Every structure is written in structure tokens, then in C-alpha cells.
Amino acid sequence: MLGRTIAGRYIVRDCLGAGSMGTVYRAHQLPMGREVAFKILHREHAVNAESKARFLREAQATSSLFSEHTVTVYDFGESDSGELFLAMEALEGESLGARLKRIGAFRPSEAVSVALQVLSSLAEAHQKGIIHRDLKPDNLFFSRTRDGSNREIVKVLDFGIAKVLHDEHQRLSPIETAAGTVFGTPRYMSPEQAQGRQLDTRSDLYSLGVMLYHMLVGHPPYTDDDAIVVMAHHIKTAPTSPSDLGVSLSESLERVLMQALEKSPSARPSTATVFAERLLAAANDPDAPLSGARRLAPHSHGSFPPVSSAAATKLQNRRSIFVAAGVALGIAAAVGGAAALSASKTPTIQLVPARPIEAVPPAPTPSVINFPDEPTLESNAAPKEHAPLAPARKSDRLAKPSRNASTQPPTVPSSPRPAAPTSSPKKPTYERFE
């Protein structure tokens, strides 16, 4: 297909990917001069009446949707050589499936944001009688806007097996509506879809609930490799709640999630709009804020900085310890200062001989006041500066050192004595103590 011109106006450039229904190429649209994503149905499907009808229905359904969160379809048709094609807007980014493999579980706020954008697309489709029937991570795409804001938004792709519920102008053939036909991806399909029953819009809401569960927990509720076993679980087995798996979520968010995963469609949110309103209420609940820890996939690096509730708690505990230690030191300094001031009036100095440290019972603490060594005043050297308790003139402190400063051992200086009166009695001088 590379280098070929389809329908006289699309030049196929390169291959972007392939799926079960067709292959997606990058193509240049000649009349418009723009790059498009060009989907061509596989030839083995093009000769099948059911697949051809389903492909054309995808084009018709998707081209009638204009939500910002739905991929835009520019053109569709059949080439002269029989290829069925679909021209869509070209997107740059990655699928939800690729991102989940890369970063693991999302933060709750991120998961809710993705779900709300998907619900915006589904609300419009459901109002027009269209259900997707194949919602899965690979059909949700993170793309950048081109309006200058460079925002990242979620686009819903591939309405390839979408079903038009009400078509007043054209009735579907019996082969297209045969009862018991199962479409979709087993890990994300609804219980009624797994049983081949008649579907309505609430089937899409269940599939979105499974993806929301995957984003919050890090894996779908049912992960068996056997598709039949997975479908049986969707039909009969209640999913394990995130809280039972050790994932911390607000009660309101977990309640909305588990409602979307109810087996009976009547127990789920009735519409995409109702689902979105409940998610918004859970996200904005002041009494139960969104919380939780991201779980990174092994050997992966996330695009968002990981948030761990355990790490946050550890950091908070460290801060609390530092604050408590600072307060304790402040109190100890204040008490020690008061005790020293009181003891300085009637000092009692007791010399304790040095002895090796050994594990002995603590003895009663004697009333001992330790004073810092007074520096020698050789070569007019200034003493070590300390913050005085009260203003004192430097000249007084240098002229009136302690009387016994030079005779007492350096480790136990003499007791402080009141400074001799000076010519300025209004400014008394105090000796330094600690």
C-alpha cells in the first residue's frame, strides 16, 4: 500500500499500526494538503458482507460525532479497487494501554480525569443512539490539542463495532443483528455482552468502569489468560474492591466505581451524564478527598512523578520529630538558663574527678554550674563573643574579668561575681553565664 494513491486523493505514506479489522497508515490528502490517519479494511474482511457493513457503520456513526473527545472522521468510502477506507485526524501521543504498561496505576485524580473525558464522548454518542461496544485501553488515546494551548486530552477511537440503536432510514440486515453474536474484548466487556444479550448504553458504562478500576488498581478486575474464564467472571464473580487490595481511595470514589461494575445494568448509573456527575461529586467531596498511591509497573518510568502515601507519611513523621526536638531544646535552654541565674546568686561548686564511663545506676545530679572558659587577654585579644542576656559595654567586660579567672583550673572556672561599680551606674555590667 505504501506509495499508492487511494480514491484519487490519498497518498499512502507509512504504516502506523494494524488491528483485527484493518491497518492504519499515515496518508497525505491531496485536495486539503493535510496529513490524515488512513484506515484500510483487511481484504479478507472486505469480501465479507458482515465486516463490510460493520466497517461502513463505523464510518457513518463516527462521522456524526463532534465531541472534542471523539476522533474526527474526515472521509470514508470504497476505492476503485475495492478497498474500504476511513480518513481520520492524525493524532500524536500514546494509547491508554501503552501508558498503563509504562507507568502502572494512575493517581485517583488522573484516573477520574480520563474517565470524565471518555464520558463526555459517550454522552454525545449515546444521545444519538450509538454504543461503542469495544471500549478498552487501546481505544483511548492521549493526544495534544492544536489550539495553541498544547493541552493533553483523551480521544475515543474505533467505533468499529458500534451499533446504531435507532435508524429510521435504514434497517440493518439480519446478519448484522444476529442474536448471540459476541463482540468486544473479554477483559473489558459487560456481563450482558459476554452472554450475547441485547445491549444498551449501560454496557459501555460497565466497560469504562473496568478501565477505571484498571487505572486505579493497576490491573483489571479479572486477569485470567483464558477468555472464557474471564467472561464467566464478568457474569458471576463480584470484583474485589480496591480497599481490600490495599489501594487507598476515598469511600465516595470507591462507591461510584463499584456501582459501575454491578452485574445488573439497572444497578449501574443510568446514563453517561449521571456517571460523570457522581464522579465529580466524589472528586469534590471535602470530607473524603481523593487519595491513594501510584503503583509503578516493574522496570518502568512514569510520566507523572510517583506519589506514595507511605512516603508522605514518613516525611510528615520526620517533620514532626524535628519540630518536637526544636521545641524540647528551646524549653531545656529556658529552664537551664533560669536555673543558672538562680544558682549564680549562691553558687555551689563541686569538683567531680574524672572517671571512665561505665554502665552504673544514675546518681542524683549535684548542683553544679559549668561556666565557659574565659579567654586569656594576651596581645589584647578579644574574648569569644556570646549573645549577652542584657546589653553590656565591651570595655567593662574587658576591664573587669573574673577575679579568679587566671587561678582556677580551666575546666571549672570560678563562680561569677557582681561587676564593680563604674562611673555609669545606670548601665550595670553582668558576667557571661551559660
Does 138 qualify as catalytic in the annotation? no
- Contact call for residues 161 and 204 (beta carbons, < 8 A): no
Amino acid letter at 407?
Answer: T
Picking from 139, 251, 121, 117, the residue whose alpha carbon sits closest to that of residue 188 is: 139
Task: Say which amino acid occupies 120.
Answer: S
Beta bridge partners of 27: 12, 36
The active-site residue out of 75, 134, 158, 204 is 134
Helix (H, G, I), strand (E, B) or coil at 37: strand
CA 375 from centroid of its chain's CA atoms: 60
CA quadruple 171, 173, 179, 183: dihedral positive or negative?
negative
Contact 290, 108 (CB under 8 A): yes
Nearest one of 297, 327, 305 to 102, comparing CA atoms: 297
3 state SS of 281: helix
Could you give phi then psi for residue 17, rounded to 5 degrees?
A: 170, 170
d(CA 242, CA 263): 17
* Residues carrying an active site annotation: 134
